[in-house]
């Protein structure tokens, strides 16, 4: 058993189960995408504990020694990124957005990919809010596919850049968190960021599904307050 209780056999069985009709080459491509996702999550895991170490007063030299790289390399790799305040669930949603872009062979991460990422992270509050409003994940996916640009010719390897409107979503998510007095940026804040980027495809999709920015803001506020109260009573 591995430290994460995940085996190669489990990964192979899941891929084969989810793509029963795919040929060998299609499975190679899918395996590569999933490997990239695992790599991204591994990087986020290290980033998380580097941040914890910095909070306890560890130096970059000490962190570099723990990782097995130089001080300079550790600092370059793990200096707080734009997603520093993002929760683990929200970061995973961003990874899934990147994976969605690769799957569609797009050379950008659009707001539609970010919305797909939130749908893929079912433990996030954003997913619960989306389901409470629409009662159908497939309905949302169909709406996204209608506005999704045509697939590209070849899946992009390595870094995939955010479109300007997607960068706006990230900034709006931070502002939504600050507006609500929160010290984290969760999937619910990213959902608010999507609808606040009013000219984006995702905002159009959300409006078509019946969401409004003000109503969503109040729903998030109410739900967070409810959960906080429930934790305090435990």
pLDDT averaged per 10 residues in sequence order, the chain, 234 residues: 70 90 90 82 80 86 92 77 82 93 92 97 96 94 93 78 93 92 94 96 96 96 89 71
pTM, two decimal places: 0.67
Hey, how many other C-beta atoms are within 10 angstroms of the C-beta on 223?
A: 15
Q: In a 10 Å sphere around its CB, with 0-12 CB exposed, 13-18 middle and 19+ buried, how is residue 199 labelled?
A: exposed
Report pLDDT for 219. Answer: 96
Q: Quote the CA–CA distance of 220 and 226 in Å, as a whole number.
A: 10
Q: Quick check: 34 and 22 in contact, CB under 8 A? A: no
* Residue with tokens 């906080």, as numbered in its chain: 228
Report pLDDT for 6. Answer: 72
Report pLDDT for 35. Answer: 86
β strands within 150-226, DSSP E:
none
Q: Quote the CA–CA distance of 10 and 18 in Å, as a whole number.
A: 12
């Amino acid at each position: 058993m591995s430290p994460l209780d995940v085996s190669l056999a489990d990964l192979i069985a899941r891929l084969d189960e989810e793509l029963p009709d795919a040929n060998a080459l299609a499975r190679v491509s899918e395996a590569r995408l999933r490997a990239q996702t695992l790599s991204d999550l591994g990087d986020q895991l290290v980033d998380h504990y580097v941040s914890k170490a910095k909070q306890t007063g560890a130096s970059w030299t000490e962190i570099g020694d723990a990782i097995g790289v130089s001080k300079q390399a550790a600092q370059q790799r793990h200096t707080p990124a734009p997603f520093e305040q993002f929760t683990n669930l929200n970061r995973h949603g961003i990874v899934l957005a990147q994976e969605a872009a690769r799957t569609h062979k797009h050379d950008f991460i659009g707001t539609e990919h970010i919305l797909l990422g939130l749908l893929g992270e079912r433990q996030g509050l954003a997913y619960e809010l989306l389901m409470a409003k629409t009662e159908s994940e497939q309905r949302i996916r169909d709406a996204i596919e209608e506005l999704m640009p045509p697939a590209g010719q070849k899946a992009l390897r390595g870094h995939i850049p955010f479109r300007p409107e997607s960068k706006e979503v990230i900034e709006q998510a931070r502002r939504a968190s600050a507006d609500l007095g929160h010290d984290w940026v969760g999937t619910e804040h990213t959902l608010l960021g999507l609808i606040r980027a009013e000219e984006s495809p995702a905002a159009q999709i959300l409006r078509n599904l019946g969401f409004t920015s003000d109503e969503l803001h109040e729903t998030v506020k109410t739900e967070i307050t409810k959960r906080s109260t429930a934790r305090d009573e435990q």
